[in-house]
Chains A and B, each alone.
Chain A
Amino acid sequence: MGKTIAEKIFDAHRVDEPFPDTHVLKLDRVFCHEITTPIAITDLMARGMDRVFDPTKIKAVIDHVTPAKDSKTAAQGKILRDWARRHEIKDFFDIGKNGVCHAIFPEKGFVRPGYTIIMGDSHTCTHGAFGAFAAGIGTTDLEVGILKGVCAFHFPKTIKIVLTGTLKPGVYAKDLILFIIKELTVNGATNMVIEFTGPVVDAMSMESRMTLCNMAIEAGGTCGICYPDMTTVDYLWDFIQDEFATKADALADYSKWVSDVDAEYERVLEYNVSELQPMVTVGFKPDQVRTVAEVSGTKVDQIYIGSCTNGRIEDLRIAAEVLRGKKISDNVRAIVSPATPAIYSMALKEGIIEIFQDAGFCVTNPTCGACLGMSNGVLAEGEVCASTTNRNFNGRMGKGGMVHLMSPASAAAAALAGTIVNSLLFKA
């Protein structure tokens, strides 16, 4: 019997199996941000264990509330900053250099095929786009990761999703993952890895693959995974060219991180997505999904384009194409948050920031802020937001607010129309 990519990664990292179905894995990366890490740090200090297993494998960023909005968030940033200095964690991204964790860490080349990664953040599943096993964990697991470089997991049962066909114009990775979550339901992949495969995924950019994997957790999944291929090598090439003579050599090496054809799966689901339409969430759960056409005309108050799901350069380019030369509706306000400083710079150079500003968008610094209702775009009671983020829980972007999740193209179109609408309406 063959093995899945996740099983192969487990086999290569297992340091102990202390109990049945308890796999203690060695970690290649421990990512940290200022919301879930400070309590881990203060607890380790209180226990007299203020140590780190390897400062080169720990990467840290202030991203959720930045710059600090009040004394409490300033204190959280300070705890993380002081700790990074104390332990000589070189890859610490402070204000001015910081971006949304799941955008900036891949961008810096910290994620490689075959890696094991944890972070105290549920959307850590994003990094599976590179053929890594990457899982969100809580503060206690983070503490142990920081201290010992290990984490315990159950056997990685896997759902394989095969995507065939060709996406229509106006339909993107976000529409696809909303459709998949609707099919799987919010707990359909609990305790499982979701493998995204097939010609549609093969043709996708790394950005689109990250969008897919980012929302694996919304179906309960431990990690989303795509197989590494030449697209992965191209993305990473700047960081790996000292390790490999040619890209072909890199690909040959990474090809060990692909599932065997006779691997065993919990479920295999195949979808031809050629007829898929733009999708949008309608309730307070991410599996409450309809086509944009079904809810077309629904009024919105705020548009938000950004986050670890859809704040990358590809997303901003797509939104800008819809917005170019047009103005947002008088009935809405709109916010765009490029996910990293590098994305912001690229968008500036390409004239994308100008398009957003001319249309009437507020351009914020890179931050998670609005997505979880912490800063930079919190909703008032009764307000509705068209958002490119990943969670539509009740109150997520502000108490009493309603969030419709959608693609950057659909969000840009909603900004122009003031209502949910198909983005193709605004294509030149």
Chain B
Amino acid sequence: MKTFKGNVLFLDRSDINTDEIIPAKYLTEITKEALKPNLLEDLVLPGFARADTQDKAVIVTRENFGCGSSREHAPWALEVNGINVVIAESFARIFRQNMYNCGMFAIELPKETIDNLFLNYAGKEVTMAVDVDSNQIVIQADGKSETIDFKVGEFDKTLVKEGGWVGYADKNY
């Protein structure tokens, strides 16, 4: 199982698409590691700089994250940068499934909860940790701690625990 804990990158925009996460010109790479320097290279978001992705483990964002292409290079570009968790109001279907298929978390939270995360924590030193067994996100900032419950389907949780879909499918089908 991967690790789901660390610093948080806040991306305050909806509809961040796969071309923004990793542009098509890098799809000619045949290793995941090669995608590392180009994560979010084409992201259109005032105030965002590529360096902001350094030392992050979690992304918090708005609606429809990962829309567009089916490229699993998007989760891979996150993974090789140490980001195994994206928390959003909603995801595009293929991106969301790709995350769980890779044993990573794509967690959906209600709009009000996401609003509060931005309001309370964006711009601060904050860490988040996903507790796989209790379905909770533990947030630490300013020496205080907050816990948020989330929902995850049994299938998706199994994929996270087993490290992805290939091993599971090979065993069962």
Contact = CB atoms under 8 A, between A and B. Distances in A.
Interface in A189-235: 190-191, 220, 222
B7 interface: no
A28 interface: no
Given A373-B25, A374-B25, A140 B166 contact: yes
B164 interface: yes
A138 B170 contact: no
A255 B56 CA distance: 53
Interface string B131-162: 00000000000000000000001110010000
**Chain B contact residues (Cβ within 8 angstroms of A): what range?**
35 or more
Contacts of A42: 30
Contact of A72 (B29, B71, B172): B29
B15 A396 contact: no
Interface stretch (A141-149, A160-168, A311-319, A404-412): A141-149
A36 B170 contact: no
A391 interface: yes
**Chain A contact residues (Cβ within 8 angstroms of B): what range?**
35 or more
A22 interface: yes
B67 interface: yes
A39 B27 CA distance: 10
A116 to B, nearest CB: 14
A38 interface: yes
Contact of B44 (A75, A220, A394): A394
B24 A372 contact: yes
Contact of A187 (B19, B23, B64, B72): B64
Given A21-B153, A148-B170, 19 more contacts: A15-B173, A36-B27, A73-B28, A120-B72, A138-B71, A144-B166, A144-B169, A147-B169, A148-B169, A186-B64, A186-B67, A187-B64, A187-B67, A372-B24, A391-B68, A393-B17, A393-B19, A396-B24, A399-B42
5 contacts: A20-B153, A22-B155, A42-B30, A124-B70, A186-B64
Interface of B: 15, 17, 19-20, 23-25, 27-30, 32, 42, 44, 63-64, 67-72, 75, 90-94, 97-98, 101-102, 153-155, 158, 164-166, 169-170, 172-173
Interface of A: 15-16, 18-22, 24, 35-36, 38-39, 42-43, 47, 49, 64-65, 70, 72-73, 75-76, 79, 120-122, 124, 136-141, 143-144, 147-148, 150, 152, 186-187, 190-191, 220, 222, 284-285, 372-374, 391, 393-396, 399
